[in-house]
Amino acid sequence: MTERFGTTSTTDDVLLNVDLGGKRVLVTGVSAGLGVETARALAAHGAQVVGTARDLAKAERATAGIQAQAANGGGLALVQLDLASLASVRACADALLAEGQSFDVVIANAGVMRTPFGHTVDGFETQFGSNHLGHFAFVNRIASLIAPGGRLVVLASTGHRNADVDLDDPNFERTPYDPRIAYGRSKTANILFAVEFDRRHRARGVRAAAVHPGVIRTELDRHMQADELDNFLEHMNAQLAAEGRPPFRFKTIPQGAATSVWAAFVAGSEEIGGRYCEDCQVSKIVQGSPDPMSPGVAAYAVNPENAQALWTKSEEMVGERFS
């Protein structure tokens, strides 16, 4: 069992005395928030980070200070990737394959949340298409670059407890669109992807885990109504107070990115392989969702049969088969 960290642990706490010199890591979504902090922490401990972003100019501004903090040969290189376009996914993957350099860890960090109803370039519902299908196609295309003993870390969310995947209507063609439900479906899909990827790749020593970073104020919530989150937290804190429990507190961005780097380099591979993690720990399975802010993973999100069914449906949707 690895050293125990918790809710308030930061990236620098988790990586204290960890030397990542010679390690190579790919992180998607390094133009803001968690992606920037993840890349910073890894480079500061010696890792060579390849960061992807849809908007390279924005990413360059957001990561301008990372090189100055890099140590022991660490650094950051940026590449363009739009997860809402399979053409962009394939172009980026093909370029990495042509380069031929392996990765010790891939962190599927990028994502959108509670967007208005819309579609990706390829006609997929925006959140399912960007959060799940884009990563599904991209990671599978570069899976051969993940070195034996390497890891895949997929960012999920406690929001998965709002909805299971709907493989009969993934694009809301027959279901009324609800951005909260759509986000929940996409985050459940992220967890199920990690479960099945782990099953398929563990024989060669590659393990996968899903992680919930916690509730953090980042630009990910830009599509929520101005007072929506505040009203929810006010209601939840009233309930907590009635139960004699302390009020909810947001995590900082370094606290939010801590579970990603913990799962990537600190936790034992057998400990986290095929699991859902939060607060730098493996989560317990919970039934129902009486309090979506409480710890735990829904049983449907780690069900291996559900994971295989999603994999098959995802292959059908992106038009590719992956071994």
Confidence at residue 18, expressed as pLDDT on a 0 to 100 scale: 97
Residue 257 counted as domain residue: yes
Confidence at residue 198, expressed as pLDDT on a 0 to 100 scale: 98
219 pLDDT tier (thresholds 50, 70, 90): low
- Distance in angstroms (rounded) separating the CA atoms of residues 133 and 141: 12
Tally of domains within the chain: 1
The reply to whether 183 belongs to the active site is yes
- Distance in angstroms (rounded) separating the CA atoms of residues 163 and 186: 9
Confidence at residue 234, expressed as pLDDT on a 0 to 100 scale: 75
Least confident of 162-166, 226-230, 274-278, 298-302: 226-230
Cβ atoms of 39 and 66 within 8 Å: the answer is yes
Residue 185 counted as domain residue: yes
Residue 250 counted as domain residue: yes
Kindly report, residue by residue over 28-57, the tens digit of the pLDDT.
999 999 999 999 999 999 999 999 999 999
Residue 198 counted as domain residue: yes
Confidence at residue 276, expressed as pLDDT on a 0 to 100 scale: 98
At 228, phi and psi to the nearest 5? -65, -50
Q: Which of 177, 183, 276, 300 is catalytic?
A: 183
**153 has pLDDT over 90:** yes
Confidence at residue 1, expressed as pLDDT on a 0 to 100 scale: 44
Q: What are 124's two structure tokens?
A: 């997929």
Strands 103-108 and 48-53: unpaired
- Distance in angstroms (rounded) separating the CA atoms of residues 35 and 107: 9
Confidence at residue 180, expressed as pLDDT on a 0 to 100 scale: 95
Domain carrying residue 33: 11-316
Residue 5 counted as domain residue: no
Residue 283 counted as domain residue: yes
Residue 2 counted as domain residue: no
Kindly report, residue by residue over 4-33, the tens digit of the pLDDT.
899 999 999 999 999 999 999 999 999 999
Confidence at residue 239, expressed as pLDDT on a 0 to 100 scale: 73
pTM for this predicted structure: 0.93
The per-residue pLDDT of the chain, averaged, comes to 93
**174 has pLDDT over 60:** yes
Q: Reduced to 3 states, what is the DSSP secondary structure of residue 207?
A: strand
- Looking up residue 183, the CATH number of its domain turns out to be 3.40.50.720
Residue 321 counted as domain residue: no
73 pLDDT tier (thresholds 50, 70, 90): very high
Confidence at residue 222, expressed as pLDDT on a 0 to 100 scale: 55
Kindly report, residue by residue over 267-276, the tens digit of the pLDDT.
999 999 999 9
Kindly report, residue by residue over 95-137, the tens digit of the pLDDT.
999 999 999 999 999 999 999 999 999 999 999 999 999 999 9
3-state secondary structure the chain: CCCCCCCCCCHHHHCCCCCCCCCEEEEECCCCHHHHHHHHHHHHCCCEEEEEECCHHHHHHHCCCHHHHCCCCCEEEEEECCCCCHHHHHHHHHHHHHHCCCEEEEEECCCCCCCCCCECCCCCEHHHHHHHHHHHHHHHHCHHHEEEEEEEEEECCHHHHHCCCCCCCCCCCCCCCCHHHHHHHHHHHHHHHHHHHHHHHHHHCCEEEEEECCCECCHHHCCCCCCHHHHHHHHHHHHHHHCCCCCCCCECHHHHCHHHHHHHHHCCHHHHCCCEEECCEECCEECCCCCCCCCCEEHHHHCHHHHHHHHHHHHHHHCCCCC
